[in-house]
Structure 1
Amino acid sequence: MKVHPCPRNHVQEIPAAAGSALCVRCIGQAEHNLRILPVLHQESLHHLSPTPRRTNPTKVSGSRKRDHLDISVLDARHNILAILESWSGIVVEKLGRVSPDRSVPQLARFLTVNLEWITAQPPAADFADEIESIAAELRRTIDPDPSELSTLTRKCVVNDCAGTITAEPQRGGGKARSSITCSSGHSWEMREWLALRQLIERQRKSVSA
């Protein structure tokens, strides 16, 4: 059987897994994103109407209570439901499955169950990209602190790299440590986090400009 490369623009050519259009790493990342989406979706509820922390309780001049809804959170929550529903509809149509309930947990679970079939189809790369995109969008609305790096995902800052940066806790030498890694193989030490985050924010601003 002819081996073809994973179509997701890795730094180096990586062969697709047997019977799949994607490599093992991309399949695993897609599964991880599907499993974390319901958690992120639920967490985003707490950010619909954000209230800033009072750093100076005695200062009231110029302060303003934010009691409005955050439209970006509403958009992110709408996007995740629409995309999961769209891909689930394809599975239902092609495989004759029973449609899942229209909720993020049910749709994500349905896609996870049928992930092997989805990743073997020609649009598998589009599926992985969209699932990764909506997970990243939800993370941006939540915007975790650096102390919560285990949930952080951002586009890699290395030129021409399509990977994502994820900070994940690791164990080594008898104590916990953390590293920042890119899904395509780039890595940074924790002491480089501040400079790295500045690069990420600069990249986001240039894209939205």
Structure 2
Amino acid sequence: MAVTAPCQGEGCRRPDADGRSRRRTADGGRLCRPCRERLDAGLAELAHLYEECGRMLAGAAPGSLRERTTGGDLPGLPFNGAAADVRARMVSVLGSWSGLVAQERGFTSPPRTVAALTAFLRRNGDWLAAHPAAAEATEEIARLVRAGRRAAFPEPARSIRLGACPESGCAGSLSVAVRDTGRDPVRDADRDTDRAVLCDADPAHRWTSDQWSRLSLSMESGREPGAPRAAATERWLTAADIARLWHTPTGTVYRLASEQKWRRRNRAGRTYYNETDVRTCFDRRAAART
């Protein structure tokens, strides 16, 4: 019989608004399954956030949907101290945890790059999840992810344009306002209930962001029954946009994009994913859970 204990992960240890108790672990580990998966997703996300912060140092415009309008970087761009500090902290923190794993397991330490360090820690994730310092590892990684998001996507709020309102007779357009607080989109989903898909013509046309998948299908099918199907408008979303709309860790988004081979395009140094591919993937995942 498996021995269980309260999870020591950052996601379970932090006080929750609804007073939920900690989840239980199994098989001698110190993390429940969601916290173990969150640790892995956080490590995967850090590798991408490091690159995003690097673009900020190179003068990339903040905000996922903003395009450059010049032929290159402007001279005299101010040094982005926040992005530089976070990148240095990533190397330091990940290097420390990789050193612990390498020393205690008798392994050779990986190269001191964020890509190599995160890959090394992910390969040894199960061992780290059972280590007495697992709680501190999850807390430091989560804190680093939040700092990376703030530095890479510093705009406090912006609006994602989604397309025409699907309500019959409405000529409005839909958008969703998103605010990057650096929080975990899965753990804090309950606190984002005020974020909604809104019509600019009629405030009564309102949907929660987690209804976006069904709403998108309605938008593609046309407004009037029997009317000719309108030409589909391809929508493209960043990993951060997808994480917020589907309440999914950004690290999981990157993993699914690679596994499912989502169509992608690069614009102004950023990667955008085809919304239809994304929605199809999450619809399949939701159906598999039912």
The interval holding the TM-score normalised by the smaller chain is 0.5 to 0.7
In structure 1, C-alpha distance between the alignment counterparts of 2:177 and 2:40, rounded to whole Å: 20
For the pair shown, which has the larger CA radius of gyration, 1 or 2? 2
In structure 2, C-alpha distance between the alignment counterparts of 1:52 and 1:106, rounded to whole Å: 27
In structure 1, C-alpha distance between the alignment counterparts of 2:47 and 2:211, rounded to whole Å: 24
Aligned to 2:124: 114
Question: Cα distance, 1:2 vs. partner?
Answer: 3.2
Aligned to 2:30: 21
Q: Could you tell me which runs of 5 or more consecutive residues in structure 2 were left unpaired when the two chains were aligned.
A: 15-19, 63-74, 161-175, 193-208, 218-241, 250-290
The answer to which structure, 1 or 2, has the higher relative contact order (CA under 8 A, 6+ apart) is 1
1:161-197 CA-partner distances (Å, limit 9, x unpaired): xx55598978743737935589xxxxxxxxxxxxxxx
Question: Cα distance, 1:155 vs. partner?
Answer: 3.9
Report the TM-score, using the length of structure 1 for normalisation: 0.66
Aligned to 2:7: 6
Q: How does 1:28-177 map to 2 (within 5 A)?
A: 28-48=37-57, 50=59, 67-143=77-153, 145-147=158-160, 152=180, 154-155=182-183, 163-164=187-188, 172-173=213-214, 175=216
What is the root-mean-square deviation in Å for CA atoms of aligned residues? 3.6
Secondary structure at the counterpart of residue 173 of structure 1: helix
In structure 1, C-alpha distance between the alignment counterparts of 2:130 and 2:105, rounded to whole Å: 13
Question: Cα distance, 1:107 vs. partner?
Answer: 0.3
Question: Cα distance, 1:12 vs. partner?
Answer: 2.0
Distance 1:18 1:153, change over 3 A: farther
Over the matched positions of the two proteins, sequence identity in percent amounts to 25
In structure 2, C-alpha distance between the alignment counterparts of 1:30 and 1:150, rounded to whole Å: 24
Secondary structure at the counterpart of residue 6 of structure 1: coil
Aligned to 1:205: none
1:128-182 CA-partner distances (Å, limit 9, x unpaired): 11111111111101126453999956347xxxxxx55598978743737935589
In structure 2, C-alpha distance between the alignment counterparts of 1:75 and 1:125, rounded to whole Å: 24
Corresponding pairs, count: 167
In structure 2, C-alpha distance between the alignment counterparts of 1:149 and 1:118, rounded to whole Å: 37
Aligned to 2:201: none
Q: Could you tell me which runs of 5 or more consecutive residues in structure 1 were left unpaired when the two chains were aligned.
A: 54-64, 157-162, 183-209
Distance 1:89 1:151, change over 3 A: farther
Which is further off, 97-106 or 135-144?
A: 135-144
**Which one-letter code corresponds to 2:3 in the other structure?**
K
